[in-house]
Structure 1
């Protein structure tokens, strides 16, 4: 986006470069209204594709966990995956459409109340997604290091999830007071920004760094600590086996039950996808906060591409879950079969002849007999 008042360009995220927290207006003679550039058009198109995929995949995951084969998941794991899918859907339905529409309109047309609410929901969705990954990591750590406490896992996880959602609400609440719709005097331009909320630039930097720390650094440190302790525990178990301290000879995969090891691998990959997708974008934000002139030397499409890459994390979670969970794949296959069956029954050829109806009955009988045999 062109122009010196970067806060008047649609901010892609609460802590993105250029961030919306610029407190000093430019001179009108030096200011040029931002426009819907080619790079922004690419961003909107890519965000739309991610929105479609994330909506379908996360809704399918939610349906599988709620009323499909996913209900068979362990009672303490099911709420974790339900919360993760819900957080991803919040990112999908709040962050992606808001970002796309804002880039198209360039300025803000939603009014003051909607400005505050959507900026709050945007940051809350990001906090919820990060904190639920922390809860999943803590659960895996406790399951591996203290396997005998499985009976209390359900109650413990519900408390941690309640804390995660509550902390997200609390930490995102300043957005309700800092953001507001601002009309630039002398030109017909309105933007949802934080102009006037900070009297000094260092205050703005502290605010952004606080959110960066609580949204990315702290969750990353906690998750790294959890999986480091798990790896250390597995390594020590190997050493004990080699030293003959265990009475039974066990292979490396038998140190931890296979089902628990599979869940552990799944959560590790989910956490890694979060780190890989969002790290480049957050690093770009830090660079901007301390060197605002980087906007002049960094191509605009880099900012847009990194934000789209960060949103890819919302699509990764259901894919990773499906890769490690046969029940989810079975639910998807059953849904596709039902869809094809309904489409074939409604086709004009089948409706015009009785053969389609009878063949559908035979297929249904065969399917029911197979299900009874299973």
Structure 2
């Protein structure tokens, strides 16, 4: 469809030039650039479509590497928790890890390929329906990933502050996960109506944007900030509150022990069971990886929303590097989980041994015998017994 403004003027080609320098920049926030609905720049008849720059080539190469690693590692994590040794995790922890791996896989198979292909093609060739659908799926995956981290934080807070209420943990976590996925779905739904394809006829250029969806620039800024709050600010505040309360509780317990109020004098590391402490450390590191990886890119987005001209004064490679660094978070979760969970490492080792010995039927029989449900691996069984108490 052709592009026309509110006053019947043609869509400013210069704004599409800025967008095409980094076509997925705004979509990472699920929001169009603020200047797409402003007509500050006149059309230029000698405008030429942008090209696939070297900075974008680096971005695509890096995203491809992250895609391969994230797809393999998160699939392995999902398989381990679903049908491997990880299924012996505590009943209320298992849905959390399954949801986290599923959200990371959505980010891997929706966000990364879309970003890479869009940077290669520069303009949009997928049609209007696919434009709306992929923008919706991208925001849905991002919200789900953030909200599931919030659910994990709330679960850890309840487990530490109310250790005797473990019986209701499974039902409580299922309700919170259902709420997280439902909210993600609802918050992403506007993308189906806001994004669309527009075309500049004189340049034979098509882009997937939100031009014409907002009558005033302030409306688009409000939409931008709303999703920034729901994607980053609110999850960060809730997670910070949860872990602050946990640290305060551990500190108070330690002071009581030192004051002799506890009959059994225990050290600070023994205030809570070791298995629960290990799960707490794992969730803290997962949350920290989310904050460290995405904070620079979100700060860049805030600057961009209030000063759209920043695209012309900041080097293009900065946008690409920060986006790649943010997507690194998808690869961190299975690494962190594997570091704190022997069952996941054991499943990976078993998979490697299976692929190595698969050509030998005798070796495969021996391997299956070792991996049977009564294998008697003392260290792993001890871990499962501890985890089941959490």
In the superposition, the TM-score normalised over structure 2's length comes to 0.88
Superposed, 1:342-361 pairs within 5 Å as: 342-343=358-359, 345=360, 361=362
Aligned residues: 358
Whole-angstrom CA distance in 1 between matches of 2:220 and 2:26: 15
Residue 287 of structure 2 corresponds to: 271
How far has the Cα of 1:362 moved from its partner? 6.8
Query: In the alignment, does 2:123 pair up with 1:107?
Result: yes
Residue 220 of structure 1 corresponds to: 236
3-state DSSP of counterpart to 1:322? helix
3-state DSSP of counterpart to 1:186? helix
Query: In the alignment, does 2:219 pair up with 1:203?
Result: yes
How far has the Cα of 1:197 moved from its partner? 1.0
Which residue, 44, 50, 56 being the options, matches 1:34? 50
How far has the Cα of 1:236 moved from its partner? 0.3
Whole-angstrom CA distance in 2 between matches of 1:211 and 1:275: 16
Superposed, 1:226-305 pairs within 5 Å as: 226-305=242-321
Q: Report if the CA contact (8 A) 1:141-1:227 is conserved.
A: yes
- Cα distance change, pair 175–317 in 1 and its aligned pair in 2 (3 A): same
Whole-angstrom CA distance in 2 between matches of 1:281 and 1:331: 35
Give structure 1 regions of 4+ aligned residues with deviation exceeding 6 angstroms: 369-373
How far has the Cα of 1:226 moved from its partner? 0.1
- Could you give the per-residue CA deviations for residues 7-56 of structure 1, whole angstroms, max 9, x where no partner exists? 45512353559944521354221754222100000000000000000000
Of stretches 209-218 and 30-39 in structure 1, the one that deviates more from structure 2 is 30-39
**Aligned alpha-carbon RMSD (Å):** 2.0
How far has the Cα of 1:125 moved from its partner? 0.2
- Cα distance change, pair 126–13 in 1 and its aligned pair in 2 (3 A): farther
How far has the Cα of 1:204 moved from its partner? 1.4
Residue 23 of structure 1 corresponds to: 37
Q: Report if the CA contact (8 A) 1:11-1:20 is conserved.
A: no
Of stretches 59-68 and 30-39 in structure 1, the one that deviates more from structure 2 is 30-39
Q: Report if the CA contact (8 A) 1:90-1:125 is conserved.
A: yes
Q: Report if the CA contact (8 A) 2:31-2:224 is conserved.
A: no
Query: In the alignment, does 2:369 pair up with 1:368?
Result: yes
- Cα distance change, pair 14–322 in 1 and its aligned pair in 2 (3 A): same
Residue 70 of structure 2 corresponds to: 54
Query: In the alignment, does 2:196 pair up with 1:183?
Result: no
How far has the Cα of 1:293 moved from its partner? 2.1
How far has the Cα of 1:92 moved from its partner? 0.2
Q: Report if the CA contact (8 A) 1:11-1:18 is conserved.
A: no
Whole-angstrom CA distance in 1 between matches of 2:191 and 2:262: 55
Of stretches 292-301 and 268-277 in structure 1, the one that deviates more from structure 2 is 292-301
- Cα distance change, pair 33–62 in 1 and its aligned pair in 2 (3 A): same
- Cα distance change, pair 17–40 in 1 and its aligned pair in 2 (3 A): farther
Q: Report if the CA contact (8 A) 1:17-1:288 is conserved.
A: no
Whole-angstrom CA distance in 1 between matches of 2:27 and 2:113: 15
Whole-angstrom CA distance in 2 between matches of 1:146 and 1:363: 46
Whole-angstrom CA distance in 1 between matches of 2:258 and 2:242: 25
- Could you give the per-residue CA deviations for residues 256-302 of structure 1, whole angstroms, max 9, x where no partner exists? 00000000000000000000000000000001111222222211000
Q: Report if the CA contact (8 A) 1:8-1:193 is conserved.
A: no
Whole-angstrom CA distance in 1 between matches of 2:363 and 2:217: 73
3-state DSSP of counterpart to 1:28? coil
Residue 93 of structure 1 corresponds to: 109
Whole-angstrom CA distance in 1 between matches of 2:241 and 2:342: 29
Q: Report if the CA contact (8 A) 2:29-2:139 is conserved.
A: no
- Could you give the per-residue CA deviations for residues 215-234 of structure 1, whole angstroms, max 9, x where no partner exists? 00000000000000000000
3-state DSSP of counterpart to 2:91? coil
3-state DSSP of counterpart to 1:182? strand
Residue 384 of structure 2 corresponds to: none
Of stretches 297-306 and 30-39 in structure 1, the one that deviates more from structure 2 is 30-39
Q: Report if the CA contact (8 A) 2:148-2:177 is conserved.
A: yes
Whole-angstrom CA distance in 2 between matches of 1:369 and 1:58: 25
